[in-house]
Chain A
């Protein structure tokens, strides 16, 4: 990068706003006492809590203070086999025979119970995963409940979803979910599977198993027939045992592209159905005629939501050159006002990084970005002494060929690139192995349609970002995976259609 350019950027920022004010917010922590976390969790198989045959347990901790929260059973292949047998038995004897409207009642009941226990679930989600309570309270838990509500509605209307076809469930679904939206991903997986008459063996992520286990408690209380949903905690080996189990009919996986590829290799040659929702490096495109202040907010929500641990995060920002200086200046001011800290504080905007391992990954990319010579700007906020933290960070003047612009970082790190014309930005935005999501900001409707037609991404947001609704399908192109979750489309991966 030429030295003169650097100078210009600094010069245009001589007039500064000062956000460190004499009036500050007192701590407003949500109370931990509203949440019950047991000292130890077993496996939830066939409607009961059972000791693992592996005899092993692993710790799950709070990434905000590195303190142990609980210990959780680690399922081995024998445990997974037990769970699959229970699911098969429930499928054959109960669930597939049950009238669809009866199935719906159970799903509806689970939705209601998630709502009733929303506060407790939100607190545990923030403690176990590090996300700010504002997000778990206002987004994760309500959206999870909505997913159950939504698919409860479909259960007895499958004939309308697929007119003139017979819909048959697949059997036992093996579901493996990530650590970034633990309860929400469980809902995304379980709700459509149950609505279509399948039974489930679900594995929550190693670092965030608690809300899925809380969901198991809810499922137990709801009276759902035993064995219909089984929850087995564990790490990669547990996941592999699910993927390789011969009596599983369908694998649904959300996680990294690397593991997604392994899963696809493992099931090659079997008749297992599969959906994969993998990584992403979404392009967020801002044209000069965009509503700039709202676009700034969209960028913030796009990349700093959930500490950037979002597969559809808008981590590649393309700004039309004529508005780049103004927009970057506003972004820099905006990140100064983001509050980083205790996930349970109601005023926290950015919580803790999910794990030590993920923090190391993010730091490695920060180092790469700096070494490659891109200008880095991070907010000046203080960080707590204990726990895993990363300040919201911006890299400017990034090249298309930079690693920080090509690879998924999965943290609060934004790479900013500029462009001149529509064709150029479409080409650059599509120039990635991923294709999960994208965003476009412009005041002109025709420009939006031109772009959305030519972008290769599963979800494209116009003048907004990171908006989710149970009725809207979500999924990727290329190395971001295949299959859709949510909406009518989300039923399809769980049914066989026949005439």
Chain B
């Protein structure tokens, strides 16, 4: 990669960036105060779509049975960002969701909780209060979610509002229009500024891969987000069809690995949208295990953004325990 060229254009925002969060993570191997050199994003690695799809399908051939299935499913539960992102969300709905997050299925003791509850900024305070000291994080979407079509000032305000109300994590969307127009500097700076506005909150950067279309662009957007300071990169808002696929997530995981090779800094991954079955979730775990390995196999570095996945996982866990599938009515819908 050519390190000099692009940074000419980036001097201002890079110098102004505060890397205060680097090196302050709970687990992992972050280097304190480390600023990675910024590459020329027009030179990010090219992706062969046929090959990527073939590789991704290989993960689905792994056979996950018995104790590895149960352990995997529990891990999945613990990685879920239980989500409600609707115009009709109310405080009542969010409170119920938070209760579900803490009590996934009390009929079966010993289950983990989910990783986080993901809501709109106006619901952050409610969620924070409802989750008490459960250890479950509150994630808030921000930056004019899901389209991202707002001025940078509005987006920063949106972010600060969420953080001020207690959000532990912020899920931002990138400006896909600017990205398609080739204005990578704008996209980069925007992410860097939102990261700054996040303060201590961890930043998940949503690429909305269905808007980016090609694998080359998904890889490029992943690189921009990570170099701009993303703590996580995330596939989709869940509001655009088709939902993100395994090959797309694979491209992003490989981008994370390459970034880690180059900088030594770990970045998390969150596939979201369209993952509603336990089996699919296990395939994702296989992929994380075989692309990134042990360090990423926990909810600090890997999340599922999903609303209906949890119940399917619970149903599978109960099936493994009892030997029979139970009716969906036995699992609470929140």
Q: Which residues of A contact B (CB under 8 A)?
A: 15, 17-28, 134, 138, 289-295, 297-298, 326, 329, 337, 346-347, 443, 463-464
Contact = CB atoms under 8 A, between A and B. Distances in A.
A72 to B, nearest CB: 32
B44 to A, nearest CB: 11
Contact of A298 (B46, B51, B295): B51
Contacts of B214: none
Interface of B: 45-48, 50-52, 54-55, 61-69, 71-72, 75, 254, 257, 260-261, 264, 285, 289-290, 292-295, 297
Interface centre among A15, A24, A27, A294 (most CB of B within 10 A): A294
Given A19-B293, A329-B261, A294 B72 contact: no
A17 B257 contact: yes
B46 A347 contact: no
B48 A294 contact: yes
Contact of A22 (B55, B61, B290, B294): B294
A134 B295 CA distance: 28
Given A20-B294, A21-B297, A15 B45 contact: no
Contacts of A292: 45
Contacts of B72: 23
Given A21-B297, A23-B289, A291-B46, A134 B261 contact: no
A288 B253 CA distance: 21
B129 to A, nearest CB: 34
Contacts of B54: 297
Contacts of B293: 17-21
Contacts, number: 87
Contacts of B50: 294, 463-464
Contacts of A19: 289-290, 293-294
Q: Which of B46, B67, B254, B264 gathers most chain A CB within 10 Å?
A: B46
A293 B261 contact: no
Nearest to B62: A347
B260 A15 contact: yes
A181 to B, nearest CB: 20
B223 to A, nearest CB: 13
A61 B54 CA distance: 34
Contact of B55 (A15, A27, A294): A294
B295 A291 contact: no
13 contacts: A15-B260, A15-B261, A17-B257, A17-B292, A19-B290, A23-B68, A28-B64, A291-B45, A293-B45, A293-B254, A295-B51, A329-B261, A443-B46
A19 B286 CA distance: 11
Contacts of A294: 47-48, 50-52, 55
Given A294-B51, A294-B52, 19 more contacts: A15-B261, A17-B257, A17-B293, A18-B295, A19-B293, A20-B293, A24-B68, A25-B63, A25-B68, A26-B64, A26-B69, A290-B46, A291-B46, A293-B52, A297-B54, A297-B55, A337-B289, A347-B63, A463-B50
Nearest to B71: A23
A24 to B, nearest CB: 6
Nearest to A443: B46
User: A-B pairs with the 8 shortest C-beta distances?
Assistant: A294-B51, A28-B63, A291-B48, A346-B63, A294-B48, A26-B68, A21-B294, A17-B293
